[in-house]
Structure 1
Amino acid sequence: MRSKAHWGYSEEFMESCRDELRVHAEEMVPLRMTVAEAEGRVVAVASLDGQLPEGELLNLFVEPDVIGKGVGRTMFQHMADTARGVGFRTMALDADPNAEPFYEAMGCVRVGVVPSGSIPGRTLNRYAFEL
C-alpha cells in the first residue's frame, strides 16, 4: 500500500485498491512470492503466477524510500529468471500508469488494455516481456 500510495493517489482510491492488493498467507507459495530485504527489512515484494507458456508478474512493489535505487530492477530480473526456470516463454503484467516507464525500460512491450480490478471504468495497460 505504501508503494502504491507513493504516486499520490487519494485515500479513497487507495481504499478501493486494498482488497485487490492484499496477499493472503495461503497465496504466497502458489504465487511464487518473493521478497527483497535490506538491512533486516523488506524493501520489495513480487509474485509470479500463470500457466505455460505465459507467466504473470503480480504485485511488484518497492518501498518508497528505495524507489530509484535498483531494487525494482533487481526484483524484475529475478522474477524473469524465475519465470524462465518454470518454463514460461513470456511474462505479462498489468501496469500502474506511474510504473509504465519502468516496465518499458525493462524491455516490456505494451500489448493491450485491461479493466482495473478495483476501480470501475479505469483501465490499465497490459505489457509483455519475452523471456
Structure 2
Amino acid sequence: MSVIITQAQAHDAAAIGALAVRSKAHWGYDEAFMQQVKAELTYQANDIQQHPTFIASKGSNLLGFYQLIAIDSSTAELDALFVDPDFIGQGVGAQLFSHAVTKARAKHHLFLKIQSDPYAADFYRKQGCLQVGTLESLSIPGRLLPLMVYPLV
C-alpha cells in the first residue's frame, strides 16, 4: 500500500496519541500495562514542534507516524513509530522507517537508535537493524526493551 508521508502539525497531536495507544494495545497488553505507558504515548503540540514528526496517510486516514530525536551529532533516535492496527503488515511501517532513515541521513547522523517494543523487534530486524543490547523501560521498572541500531553509512 502506497502512502503519503508529510510533516505532522501541532493540531495532529491528539490523533497521533490516539493512534499510538491503539497500536500498542494491538499486541494484547492489559489495561494495567496500558495505564503505565499512557504518558509515553501522549503527544503534545510542542512535542511535534520540537522533534521532527511525520505522518503516513491515505486520503483523510491517518495510518501511522514516527518521531525522530537528535541525540548528538552522530546519533538520531527513532523515538516512536506506530501504525494503526488495521494497517499493520501492509507496508506502512516499512515506508515510515525508510522515510526516517532518509531524514536522519540528511542530518548526517551515523546511527539510528531504537528502543523497541519486544513485539516490534522482528520488524526492525527485517529493516536491517541490529540488536545491540537492552534498556530498562522508563515506564515500567524491571521491564527490559530491545535496543536496536541501524547504521546510516
TM-score > 0.5, shorter chain as reference: yes
Say which of 24, 47, 57 aligns to 1:37: 57
The alignment status of 1:107 with 2:128, answered yes or no, reads: yes
Instruction: Give the 5 Å matches for 1:43-62.
Output: 43-50=63-70, 51-62=72-83
2:45 partner letter = A
The alignment status of 1:12 with 2:43, answered yes or no, reads: no
For each residue in 1:36-79, what CA deviation from the matched residue of structure 2 results, as whole angstroms up to 9, or x when unmatched?
11121111010000221001001100000000000000000000
For each residue in 1:86-118, what CA deviation from the matched residue of structure 2 results, as whole angstroms up to 9, or x when unmatched?
111110010101001100000000111101011
State the shift of 1:30 in Å. Answer: 2.0
Number of aligned pairs? 131
* Runs of 4 or more consecutive aligned structure 1 residues displaced over 4 Å after TM superposition: none
The alignment status of 1:122 with 2:122, answered yes or no, reads: no
Greater alpha carbon shift after TM alignment, 68-77 vs 43-52: 43-52
1:98 partner letter = Y
Please give the TM-score of this superposition, normalised by the length of structure 2. 0.84
Secondary structure of residue in 2 paired with 1:28: helix
Greater alpha carbon shift after TM alignment, 20-29 vs 90-99: 20-29
CA distance in 2 between counterparts of 1:63 and 1:41 reads 10
CA distance in 1 between counterparts of 2:43 and 2:107 reads 22
* Aligned sequence identity (%): 37
1:91 partner letter = L
CA distance in 1 between counterparts of 2:84 and 2:101 reads 20
Alpha-carbon RMSD: 0.8
1:55 partner letter = A
In structure 2, the gaps of 5 or more residues are 1-20
Tell me what 1:73 maps to. Answer: 94
The alignment status of 1:86 with 2:107, answered yes or no, reads: yes
